[in-house]
Amino acid sequence: MQYVVEKIDDIDEKTKRELIVTALLHDLGKSMWPDELFTKPSYLLKVEDIALIKTHTILTRNLLKENVGELLNENILKFIENHHEKPGGKGYPAGLVEPGYPVRILEAVDIFCATLLEERAYRTGKENAEGVFMEIEELAGKKVSKILKELYQKLFVTADKQFKEGVM
């Protein structure tokens, strides 16, 4: 994550540091989920499962603020709370129309790293970056904007090298 964020050249150094800290902490609230939620395929999720999933942004923010709030600035807490917001009000928890560029970077990097690295209940992780890029192209067409697709392409060049060298 740190490597990828450092390659983005149109945000300032302070925002980069904030994004890196956010990336490390943003899903901590998932630790409160029941175990079966981590392994249940998405097509088996019930309405109440989805509602619970959508609380993790606020839950994470509140956990961090209550326990280590003095170590984190308001930008980091805001990025954590908003990390599932999407342009046009399609995200959560607040349905912000424009979540802001740092949050869109988080979204892009989160999908990118998850696609590249993580096993899911419904598929295995990708063994090579070409497969990752094909999946990203598919996602870019369906659920993310053109601007994010361009960001993915920019990230792909360096991430592919890191992936092959085994350091990502």
Q: How far apart are CA 91 and CA 78, in angstroms?
A: 15
Stretch that binds Fe ion, among 25-33, 38-46, 123-131, 153-161 (CB under 5 A): 25-33
Stretch that binds Fe ion, among 12-20, 24-32, 144-152, 154-162 (CB under 5 A): 24-32
Q: Which is nearer to Fe ion, 25 or 155 (CB)?
A: 25
Shortest distance in whole angstroms from residue 13 CB to Fe ion: 25
Shortest distance in whole angstroms from residue 90 CB to Fe ion: 15
Q: Which is nearer to Fe ion, 42 or 153 (CB)?
A: 42
State the alpha helices, DSSP H only, in the chain: 2-6, 13-25, 36-39, 47-53, 56-68, 74-81, 101-117, 129-142, 146-165
Stretch that binds Fe ion, among 20-28, 37-45, 112-120, 147-155 (CB under 5 A): 20-28
Shortest distance in whole angstroms from residue 45 CB to Fe ion: 15
Q: Which is nearer to Fe ion, 93 or 160 (CB)?
A: 93
- DSSP code at position 121: T
Q: How far apart are CA 118 and CA 17, in angstroms?
A: 24
Please identify which residue in 17, 20, 27, 93 interacts with Fe ion, judged by CB under 5 A: 27
Give the CA distances from residue 102 to residues 10, 18, 54, 125, 163, in Å, rounded to whole numbers and listed in that order. 10, 9, 20, 26, 24
- Please tell me whether residue 113 binds Fe ion under the rule CB under 5 A: no
Q: How far apart are CA 72 and CA 75, in angstroms?
A: 8
Shortest distance in whole angstroms from residue 26 CB to Fe ion: 6
Amino acid found at 13: E
Q: Which residues bind Fe ion (CB under 5 A)?
A: 27
